[in-house]
A and B are shown apart, each in its own frame.
Chain A
Amino acid sequence: MSHSSHAASMPAGAAAHGHEHHTSLGIPNHKLATWLFIASESMFFAALITTYMVFRYRSVVGPHPDEVVNIPLTTVSTFILLMSSLTMALGVSAAQRGESKAVGRFLLFTILGGIGFLVIQFYEWWHLAHHYGLTWNTNIFGSIFYILTGFHKAHVIFGMIWLAVLAVSAFRGTLRREHAVHVDVAGLYWHFVDVVWIVIFTVVFLLTEAGV
């Protein structure tokens, strides 16, 4: 998952010339693959969100979604995640300018944002379990709520590990301008996780609170 995995799996033909410039579409293999991965992940989350939409009010016993969503708290965590996307974008931009130390700083902010998001989210889980007795075994809403937000959290955690590896290189000063694409690719992943949250926030929280 580090930046050098790029070199490791670089196409043989391109490797002969030392760079990826000679791809047929003129875009790096890595970035193309990442976008395909993101497109594929869209289907993954769509299937989970569909499950949520179909099941949300089918539970025989409560608590039901409208009884438990916590808009203020979730709004704060959403905001934190959105801002971590901003720092991520600034980090990529710094990487493209070759400012290694700045990259490290922005990545650190991004990771901190991720941590903030997770702390609030896990607190919310704890709160739901302890105050409403909602676990993933309680009812169908509980099952899909924890699985959907859980898979999202897993993505956040994975992204943080990835960014951490990059941040270490950045602070060491070894993340030079020609490696910007590695930061770029990690950033795409991070933004995607953010975008998924934008959808989850609307579907699971806002629409529920709005009574739709």
Chain B
Amino acid sequence: MATTTLERSFWQALPKPRARTGFWSWVTTVDHKRIGILYFWTALAFFLIGGVEALLIRLQLARPEQDLVAPDLFNQLFTMHATTMIFLAIMPLTAAFFNYFIPLLVGARDVAFPKLNALSYWMFLAGGIFLNSSWVLGGPSDAGWFGYPNYSLSEFNPGLGVDFWIIGLLLAGIGTLVSGFNFIVTILNMRAPGMSLMRMPMFAWATLVTSFLIVFSFPVITVALLLLLFDRVFGTVFFDVFSGADLTLYHHLFWVFGHPEVYIIVLPAMGIVSEVLPVFSRKPLFGYSVMVFSTMLIGFVGFGVWSHHLFTVGMGPVVNTIFSLATMIIAVPTGIKMFNWIGTLFGGRLRFTAAMLYSLGFLALFLIGGLTGVMLSAAPSNTQIHHTYFVVGHFHYVMIGGALFSLMSALHYWGPKMFGRMLDERLGKVAFWTLFVGFNLTFFPMNILGVMGMPRRIYTYSAGMGWDGLNATSTLGALIMAVSILITLYNLVTSLRNGERAPADPWDGRTLEWAIPSPAPEYNFARLPNVSSRDELWVRKHPQLAEGAAVAASAESDGPAEPIAMPGGSYMPLLVSLGLFIAGYGLLYSMPVFVGGIVLSLLGLIGWGFEGDNMRIIQPGGEQ
């Protein structure tokens, strides 16, 4: 646009990605749907890695005094298990669905900043590879997923493991932050005509609030990690006790991030459930506006409760009770959501598809996880259950029973739209029941183990503590979960090959993504929809439901069918993250490499600025 001819001649001489199919088309893509699919498969791979780590943990703990896994390796396993699951599996899986579906749900052609979106993905991949490469470069961190100093300082943790962990998280964190900005702008500013905020699907609301949590909480962990990194690499003394440091500062910084983080994980899950339940109940979401409000309230209050992870650091009774009470308050908006979901089901025509089963599983399991959370929030009794398997039970109930179950639901519900093939329903249901049973066998005993006094993060325990049977049960459960995951993988792979082709609207859906073919065409909507109500598609299918003066929604009022300009691919996002990825290794091994990496990514940025947008004009194929 504003580039001079001189600039243009130079930058335009650079090769532009031309491929529309094949490897390079994926590497250079800026299409939100393709990026979503990249997120999906990458996150799935990391989920399997994190799952194998979990299985090793479980096998080691199956019986007392086993020596399958050495103590240091065990500590690395749970550190990497948690880091992988949270940052490289669950969050990116939600990002996969944000990416594919947010533009479809709000009626946009793409996200607000398609190239930044590609950058987010590549930063996530760079961070994930960087973190996991520590397995072969001297071993990963063993300091737990919150990496408290001073244990995580060089003095007690020599080697590069913690550095890999810090830099890996910083790299992935850049991607997360960038996608936070991107989705807020997309949702606020890219909505189709008529799609007012209060007509948006709940999933869009959940994504919006989640993105705000990201934008406000990730800078804080960035600071915490940077302080740690400077101590380790440059010899600053932030966490040097002999210089007078207060180690709990890191605790606070970490959990100011850490608690919003758990809602970053669960709010999208709640959004998914809020989409699935109405469809398979053939009823609108019960209490939509209250649901919106409670989502915001959860996000907001979530910033004021972080110290409930710190009841035993000696903050004193005043601070402890303040945070106890603040934490308990969160049960109210969450309860409202739970009851509204049941209200949605009540009086409906319930169809128990695999997607529906997983969402119902979410309701049952998240309920247990949430209730154990409230039990944890009472400071005096927290000091007993704190850092025991009761906590491990609690957070797996909310993160697997909650987040993972709803992501499974999303896979079965939205998978046909993403991949153009139906998943096998029978296999889906079998996998659900296996997962449901395996999950409860794995994690319910943990709640009891905590009450029996079993601390977390121990690689071994003696016989005679009364923990044997429950641990064995838990390990058995984990194996059953593994079977279920394998069934789902089999289902996914075979269905994508030979499954029935997905129609546009296989579930009798309610929202805009079902108005277009499966998989969605590159430009999403041949004619941008003109939205006149919540559940737009549902109302279009059942015009008699349009109430009062509201004009019945119809395709007539949609935007014109005209040629559509879509941005072409770009190498630059990849280049920028590659540069930072290399710089990460440089920081640990060699300064020249560090500088080289930074220069590479700066070049990428400049090229990004000048290369132009490589627009292509597409004539919609008249599918609609």
Report chain B residues within 8 Å CB of A29: 112-113, 185, 189-190
Kindly identify which residue among A2, A24, A147, A174 contacts B227, using a CB–CB cutoff of 8 Å.
Answer: A147
A121 near B: Cβ within 8 Å? no
**B224 contacts partner chain A, Cβ-Cβ < 8 Å:** yes
* Contact of B4 with A by CB under 8 A: yes
- A8-B609, A58-B244 are known contacts. Are A43 and B189 too (CB-CB below 8 A)? no
Within 8 A of A (CB), among B206-247: 215-220, 222-224, 226-227, 230, 234-238, 240, 242-246
Please pick, from B2, B184, B219, B246, the residue contacting A169 in the complex, using a CB distance under 8 A.
B2
| In the complex with contacts A2-B610, A9-B115, A32-B185 CB distance below 8 A | yes
Interface residues of B in 447-465 (CB under 8 A from A): none
Please indicate the chain A residues that have their CB under 8 angstroms from the CB of B610 in the complex. 2, 4
Residue-wise, chain B 552-593 has the 8 Å CB interface mask toward A (1 for contact) of 000000000011111100100000000000000000000000
Instruction: Report Cα–Cα, A95/B55, bound state, in Å.
Output: 61
B219 and A43 form a contact (CB under 8 A)? yes
Given contacts A11-B109, A15-B615, A24-B189, contact A2 B606 (CB under 8 A): yes
Which residues of chain A have C-beta atoms less than 8 A from B244's C-beta?
Answer: 55, 58-60, 139-140
CB contact under 8 A between A9 and B217, given known A44-B222, A59-B244: no
A-contact 0/1 string along B187-198, CB 8 Å cutoff: 011110001000
Chain B CB within 8 A of A127 CB? no
If over half of A's interface residues share one DSSP class (helix, strand or loop), that class is named, otherwise mixed; here it is helix
Q: Is the CB of A140 within 8 A of B243?
A: yes
Interchain CB contact (< 8 A) of A9 among B114, B180, B218, B253? B114
- Asked if residues A24 and B181 are in contact (CB atoms below 8 Å), the reply is no
B188 touches which of A1, A32, A58, A140 (Cβ 8 Å): A32
Pair B188/A59 contact, Cβ less than 8 Å = no
In the docked arrangement, what's the CA distance between A147 and B222, Å? Answer: 13
Determine if A179 is an interface residue (Cβ-Cβ < 8 Å): yes
Contacts of B217 in A (CB 8 A): 43
The A172-212 residues at the B interface (CB cut-off 8 A) are 172, 174-176, 179, 182
User: 8 Å CB contacts to A: which residues of B494-546?
Assistant: 523, 528
Give a binary string over A39-70; 1 marks a CB under 8 Å from any B CB, 0 the rest.
11101101110110011001111000000000
Across the two chains, which residue of chain A brings its CB closest to B190?
A11
Bound: A51/B220 CA distance, A? 11
Select one of B177, B230, B237, B566 contacting A139, CB under 8 A.
Answer: B237
- In the complex, whether B315 has a CB less than 8 A from a CB of chain A is no
* A75 at interface by CB-CB < 8 Å: no
Question: Would you call A73 an interface residue if the criterion is a C-beta within 8 Å of the partner chain's C-beta atoms?
Answer: no
B238 engages A7 (CB within 8 Å): no
Q: Which of A112-154 contact B (CB under 8 A)?
A: 136-137, 139-140, 142-144, 146-147
- Identify 20 new A-B residue pairs, CB closer than 8 A, beyond the known A40-B215, A143-B237: A4-B610, A5-B609, A6-B1, A10-B613, A11-B108, A23-B190, A24-B189, A24-B195, A29-B190, A36-B180, A44-B222, A44-B223, A60-B242, A136-B235, A140-B243, A143-B230, A144-B238, A146-B236, A174-B4, A179-B1
Using a CB–CB distance below 8 Å, which chain A residues touch chain B? Answer: 1-13, 15-16, 23-25, 27, 29, 32-33, 36-37, 39-41, 43-44, 46-48, 50-51, 54-55, 58-61, 136-137, 139-140, 142-144, 146-147, 165, 169, 172, 174-176, 179, 182
- 12 A-B pairs within 8 Å (CB atoms) are namely A4-B1, A8-B115, A8-B613, A9-B115, A9-B116, A11-B109, A12-B564, A24-B191, A41-B219, A47-B220, A59-B243, A140-B245
The 10 A-B pairs of least Cβ separation, nearest first, read A2-B609, A44-B219, A47-B223, A143-B236, A13-B109, A58-B244, A5-B609, A43-B219, A23-B189, A12-B109
